[in-house]
Chains A and B, each alone.
Chain A
Amino acid sequence: MPTNPPDFEKYAQTLQQTMAAAIAEAEALSELAAADREAAASVRIIIQEKRNELENLAREAANKYVAEHRKQLQGTIQQEVLISIATKLLNNGESVDNVAELLDVPKEFVATIK
């Protein structure tokens, strides 16, 4: 019994349709992905702007605090520094008199640390 030859045209059409449908779906998905990426980039810009805004506010607050308390901060830090240096010098075997003379501070101050 003779067999019918395959319908090449139909096969070809099926191949083409399958691929065309896949490409169309892939393109649609890629468009969605691109839109999401763009949206994410916009959100990142907003985050950056908000961060800058917070940093500027913080800088302003920190500057204001330091300007208002500068003298007090200087005094406290100076005291800390002097105590730390005097302690090191005393630990190195320097006398109270020498340390007081070197740091220009009263002997009582050094003696208290000792």
Chain B
Amino acid sequence: MEYTQIMQKMLTNNSAAAEAIVAGARAEQIAAAAELQETRRQLTEMEQNKVQILQEYTTQLRAQLENYIRLEILEEMAEKLLKKGESLSVVGTLLGLAERVMQSVFRHSGLQQVGSANAWLEYEEDGRSGSVIFHHGKTTNRFYYEFGGDTTLVIIDIPTAAQWETRTGLPLAERELILDFIGKKVVADKAPGYSYRVENSAIVIYI
């Protein structure tokens, strides 16, 4: 009698375990079938809405491209304003450009911090002479130059220290920095391989 009860209990337990195994597998199969159904639904939906999806993608991409154009325009504007002597932070705020973008514009614009302001150069060439145009913040100065002979390539006329502030409107304390900037930049832009020296009233570019 006791054996029979034990065996019966074992049969019951065994049957429950077997059912649990099947139930687990069935649940897995139901989930997989649902996954397949859902994926097929997505495919059907995509095929039905193909035209709309295409339009949405096109609109998004067009907006992206327009944003690139906008950024190009803003960067050009930023460079222009920086070259007119506005500061990085003022221009960044005005145009809504991040500091990272402003730094990139600054690096590519040929601008350099020289003393109290950003500086850049332009050139006006007229045969064997011309002008180096020096922009420093909102101040612009033209320095006449002429080609030299022998080992001298170019002589750029500059005001002496005594004339400096009156003729340039720039602080005397920054004269040396400014003349070094001009010398280096002219060599880099126009006479790679040459050297420069600053004299009393001239910057001499020589070999």
- A residues whose Cβ falls under 8 Å from a Cβ of B: 3, 5-6, 8, 11, 14-15, 18-19, 21-23, 25-27, 29-30, 32-34, 36-37, 39-40, 43-44, 46-47, 50-51, 54-55, 57-59, 61-63, 65-66, 70, 73-74, 77-78, 81, 85, 88-89, 102-104
How far, in angstroms, from A58 to B108 measured CA to CA in the complex?
A: 33
How far, in angstroms, from A51 to B29 measured CA to CA in the complex?
A: 28
Q: Does B161 contact A (CB under 8 A)?
A: no
Instruction: Please tell me if the beta carbons of B94 and A88 are within 8 angstroms of each other in the complex.
Output: yes
Instruction: Please tell me if the beta carbons of B65 and A62 are within 8 angstroms of each other in the complex.
Output: yes
Instruction: Please tell me if the beta carbons of A32 and B29 are within 8 angstroms of each other in the complex.
Output: yes
How far, in angstroms, from A23 to B31 measured CA to CA in the complex?
A: 19
Of B54-62, B111-119, B140-148, the segment with at least 4 beta carbons within 8 Å of chain A is B54-62
Picked from A19, A26, A77, the residue with its CB within 8 Å of the CB of B69 is A77
Instruction: Please tell me if the beta carbons of B57 and A58 are within 8 angstroms of each other in the complex.
Output: yes
Q: Which residues of A contact B22 (CB under 8 A)?
A: 22, 25-26, 29
Picked from A36, A57, A62, A85, the residue with its CB within 8 Å of the CB of B62 is A62
Q: Does B188 contact A (CB under 8 A)?
A: no
Q: Does B177 contact A (CB under 8 A)?
A: no
B-side interface mostly: helix
Further contacts, 6 of them, CB under 8 A, given A22-B18, A37-B36, A40-B39: A22-B22, A39-B36, A77-B66, A77-B70, A85-B94, A89-B94
Instruction: Please tell me if the beta carbons of B57 and A54 are within 8 angstroms of each other in the complex.
Output: yes
Q: Does B15 contact A (CB under 8 A)?
A: yes
Q: Which residues of B contact A89 (CB under 8 A)?
A: 94
Number of interface residues of B (CB under 8 A): 52
How far, in angstroms, from A30 to B64 measured CA to CA in the complex?
A: 47
Kindly list the 4 A-B residue pairs having the minimum CB-CB distance in the complex, ordered from nearest.
A22-B18, A58-B57, A26-B25, A62-B61
Q: Which residues of B contact A102 (CB under 8 A)?
A: 81, 84, 86
Q: Which residues of A contact B74 (CB under 8 A)?
A: 81
Q: Does B10 contact A (CB under 8 A)?
A: yes
Min CB–CB distance B206 → chain A (angstroms): 38
Q: Which residues of B contact A63 (CB under 8 A)?
A: 61, 65
Instruction: Please tell me if the beta carbons of A43 and B43 are within 8 angstroms of each other in the complex.
Output: yes
Q: Which residues of B contact A44 (CB under 8 A)?
A: 39
Instruction: Please tell me if the beta carbons of A32 and B69 are within 8 angstroms of each other in the complex.
Output: no
Q: Can you identify 20 A-B contacts, CB atoms within 8 angstroms?
A: A5-B3, A6-B4, A6-B7, A18-B14, A19-B17, A29-B29, A30-B29, A33-B28, A33-B33, A43-B42, A50-B46, A50-B47, A51-B46, A57-B54, A57-B57, A59-B57, A66-B65, A74-B73, A88-B94, A102-B81
